[in-house]
Amino acid sequence: MRQYKTISVQKQEVAKIYCNGCGKLIPKDQHGNFEEVLHIQKEWGYLSKRDGEIHIIDLCQSCYEKWINTFPISPVINKNKK
């Protein structure tokens, strides 16, 4: 038989997001959800110049649009079938 007790556990949640491209604070809607951003987390591997580094980037929608417009090949865009 096991008896349980209640304990408090601390957890972290995202409090603020800043765009790495322009520095803007990403706003929340009335429900507390952040406006959509591009979030990238990349752990560079052995065959890179940044082996062992983890890079984390958030880009606002405006910076994302500017960034992809610099690409010689546009991103592949698929639409969700809802």
Contacting positions for Zn ion (CB under 5 A) = 19, 21-22, 60, 63
Report the distance separating Cα 64 and Cα 43, nearest Å: 21
The nearer residue to Zn ion, 45 or 55, going by C-beta atoms, is 55
The nearer residue to Zn ion, 21 or 73, going by C-beta atoms, is 21
The nearer residue to Zn ion, 22 or 40, going by C-beta atoms, is 22
Can you point out the beta strands (E) in the chain?
Answer: 38-43, 54-59
Tell me the closest approach of the beta carbon of residue 78 to Zn ion, in angstroms.
Answer: 24
